[in-house]
Chain A
Amino acid sequence: DQQVKQNSPSLSVQEGRISILNCDYTNSMFDYFLWYKKYPAEGPTFLISISSIKDKNEDGRFTVFLNKSAKHLSLHIVPSQPGDSAVYFCAASEGYGGATNKLIFGTGTLLAVQP
């Protein structure tokens, strides 16, 4: 039962262009969503998050959009840089705030930014 789905295993974009990574979820009880970036031989690194009371959150080059009615979120990276090449995981949890909440991860999308 895959509650968080990332249907694109990989994505390739040119440096300077926009990268759009997508994520769908099925559990309507999820109310907090996060994106993590993972380089080989390293643990996932937190990138950006959004709560269900918002539809957009920005942090520098990274913007996350949430469409609750469609149970869909996306991560936009503008402009993309070669150093952004990594696996990106979408994650969700029930319950807002507090480190007690377990994260449900998608299967990841491998982003390759071509110079």
Chain B
Amino acid sequence: DAGVTQSPTHLIKTRGQQVTLRCSPKSGHDTVSWYQQALGQGPQFIFQYYEEEERQRGNFPDRFSGHQFPNYSSELNVNALLLGDSALYLCASSFSQNYGYTFGSGTRLTVV
């Protein structure tokens, strides 16, 4: 049973560029949440998608946007990249009526 799959695992981008990160949820899960983990910090909630809509959003600027597809997979898009966007981006999936989050291994984004 595949868990949460994220791609790519590592990515290097230049300031001002745009990036798209992808997430496939665990089988049976219908809700996807995205978190940003900066170096030395805990994960911070970016937003959550359910039924292809953004259900909740954390304190992140509009440069961060997302999408959920009918097969429950999700994308995180970041525009106009800043050096401070360098972080590990974690995707977590869950079943809407169950508290259990399953995290992926993350995408390490480096902005230079």
Q: Which A residues are within 8 Å of any B CB, using their own CB?
A: 4, 6, 32, 36, 41-46, 49, 89, 91, 97-108
Cα distance A39–B50 in the bound complex, in angstroms: 28
Cα distance A103–B101 in the bound complex, in angstroms: 10
- B residues near A6, Cβ cutoff 8 Å: 42
A-B contact pairs, 16 of them (CB 8 A): A4-B42, A32-B99, A36-B103, A41-B105, A43-B4, A45-B103, A97-B99, A98-B97, A99-B95, A99-B101, A100-B50, A102-B56, A103-B43, A105-B43, A107-B40, A107-B42
Once the chains bind, are A99 and B45 in contact (CB under 8 Å)?
Answer: no
- A residues near B100, Cβ cutoff 8 Å: 46, 99
B63 in the interface (beta carbon within 8 A): no
Residue of A nearest to B92 (CB): A43
Question: Known contacts A43-B90, A44-B103, A46-B101: does B42 contact A102 (CB below 8 Å)?
Answer: no
Which B residues between 88 and 112 are near A, CB-CB below 8 angstroms? 90, 92, 94-106
